[in-house]
Amino acid sequence: MQNLKLNTDNFISFHFIDDQKRPFVLIAPGGGYQRTSPREAEPIAKAFNEKGYHAGIIYYRETLLQYPDTVDELASFVQVITSDSTYPIDLNAFILCGFSSGGHYMASLGVFHHQYPGLIQPKAMILAYPVITGKVGFAHEDSIERLYGEITEDNRQRFSLENHVTNLTPETFLFHTMDDQSVKVENSLFFMQALRNHGVMVDCHLYHSGVHGLSLGTQTVVTDAYRSNPAAYEAIHKHNQTWFNLAISFLDFRLKKIA
């Protein structure tokens, strides 16, 4: 199916298994609100396809929009694909998935979706080592600056998605590594606590170690440092690889509850 583009160069590429209606996962790769990492794009879509999920990848930094245009455009993309019956999507199983800054991007719609009249409520979110907070000492500062143009106290507060969780926020699966030096684990912990405070179901899986941006942790998504020895990359992250099957288990439980 042809890519979907709206009014900018940003677009969604679709990875449908077939023309049967199935759960759909919209994936936002990370990249510090500067780019979209290929290691968190097609390999993730393929992994979801293999589990029976249709997938789409949103390339949301081809045009470098700032807030609120970022979330407005995302809401428009979702409105288009959920309103067009030619897309074989089970509307009761529309899932948001984001990595690092892509986690912030997706979680922004997760916490603000109810502000867009007529927009479908996502059924769940999968957030992998997400950027969440603007708090000093825990924030990914570059993401704030790229999203808002400058770092101010007001922008820190707006950026901090843990401050905007409500009981309408979708149930969420989080995973993070404890020694993540790029996006501190507190980002997931703050969001988890906010979800708990509002009675929203949350699974939070913390691994004792692992590089930021580990993706699936397999040989197919090695970092540059391991290009010459992909088997070593996979061996180091063997335990971390379990996050994906845990996420699928979470979704299977969530979707059965819907049914």
Kind of pairing, strands 4-5 and 11-15? antiparallel
| Cα gap 60→112, rounded to integer Å | 18
| Cα gap 195→200, rounded to integer Å | 5
pLDDT at position 258 is 53
pLDDT at position 81 is 97
Single-letter amino acid code for the residue at 224: D
Phi and psi at residue 18, in whole multiples of 5°?
-160, -165
Q: Is the preceding peptide bond at 23 cis, omega within 30 degrees of 0?
A: no
Q: Mean per-residue pLDDT for 128-153?
A: 98
Band (257; pLDDT cuts 50, 70, 90) = low
pLDDT tens, residue by residue, 178-212: 999 999 999 999 999 999 999 999 999 999 999 99
Q: Is 259 exposed, middle or buried (0-12, 13-18, 19+ CB in 10 A)?
A: exposed
Tokens representing 127?
Answer: 């957030």
Tokens representing 22?
Answer: 């199935």
pLDDT tens, residue by residue, 19-40: 999 999 999 999 999 999 999 9
Contact 11, 62 (CB under 8 A): yes
Q: Helical H runs in 20-139?
A: 42-50, 69-83, 101-112
Separation of first and last alpha carbons in the chain: 28
Q: Is 227 exposed, middle or buried (0-12, 13-18, 19+ CB in 10 A)?
A: exposed
pTM of the model: 0.97
Phi and psi at residue 172, in whole multiples of 5°?
-135, 140
Q: Mean per-residue pLDDT for 125-147?
A: 98
